[in-house]
Structure 1
Amino acid sequence: MRTMSLRWVPLVAGVLLSGPQLGLAAEPAMEKDGMLVDQNGMTLYTYDKDADGKSACNGQCAQNWPPLMAEAGAKAEGEWSLVTRDDGSMQWAYDGKPLYTFVMDKKAGDVTGDGKMGVWHVAKPEAY
């Protein structure tokens, strides 16, 4: 019986050691140079007309300001939440504010959308 239990030690140890990583997905965005960027390094923005954890940017607006979409099964955690868009799809929000990229940003680090029409702003985690 003792030999049998020793065989399980590496398996159990492996499960226990990997346990904290199981089920943890990467955050939908990261902080870089004081702003939030998506997994490709593209700047993320907030929209002043969004309210109550709901996106007000649909149709043509969403074509110019693509939402940071959440994959099926994504789970909210900490400051990260999910908002349901008008079409039923899910979008990431940070501290309740839906996040977007901007089509005129061509490379990582571009911030051409900041201040657009007085309602678009670079998403900065310390601002919330």
Structure 2
Amino acid sequence: MIRNALCAALLGAICGSVHAQSVVGTAGLLTDAAGRVLYTFDKDSTGKSACYDQCAALWPPFVAAADARATGEHTLVTRSDGSRQWAVRGKPLYYYVGDSEAGQTTGDGRGGVWHVVRDSDKAPAEAGSYRPRDY
């Protein structure tokens, strides 16, 4: 019960405070403006999230403000609750609650289905990392 409340509070804090587009950080990882690493989920389909409930408690979506506009590779997907989530080339973006500070990538490779997004020009090649074409 306490764990669920803690997860809900963390999810609310993350989702309520982040409304900017993602950026490429110094290590070549796609992050939010505060440097928190963003992930993609293999079970998502283009333009549609498959991560809800318990999944979203561990992998909070990178939400977009109501007035956010898609630009270039940064797109928006609408979640089942009507909120909008940032995506890159249609792949929804998420945080991992296990990352406690900017730049951490402890969620990369989790379950074989979660991957950091890397800029192939700035980051070393690693199996499982998602690289949008021409990103």
* TM class, shorter-length: 0.7 to 0.9
Task: Determine the structure 1 residue equivalent to 2:21.
Answer: 28
TM-score (norm 1): 0.77
The one of 55, 59, 67 equivalent to 2:53 is 59
The one of 101, 105, 128 equivalent to 1:111 is 105
Task: Determine the structure 2 residue equivalent to 1:87.
Answer: 81
Measure, in 2, the Cα distance between the counterparts of 1:56 and 1:125: 24
- 1:102 and 2:96 equivalent? yes
C-alpha contact (below 8 Å) 2:20/2:32 kept by paired residues:
no
Task: Determine the structure 2 residue equivalent to 1:72.
Answer: 66
Measure, in 2, the Cα distance between the counterparts of 1:125 and 1:50: 20
* Residue type at the aligned position of 1:28: Q
Unaligned runs of 5+ in 1: 1-25
Unaligned runs of 5+ in 2: 1-18, 121-130
How large is the RMSD of aligned CA atoms in angstroms? 1.3
Q: State the SS of the aligned residue for 2:106.
A: coil
Measure, in 2, the Cα distance between the counterparts of 1:52 and 1:94: 10
TM-score (norm 2): 0.73
Q: 1:40 to 1:121 in 2, by over 3 A?
A: same
Measure, in 1, the Cα distance between the counterparts of 2:75 and 2:119: 14
Name the % identity: 53
- 1:49 and 2:43 equivalent? yes
Measure, in 1, the Cα distance between the counterparts of 2:73 and 2:118: 12
Q: State the SS of the aligned residue for 1:83.
A: strand
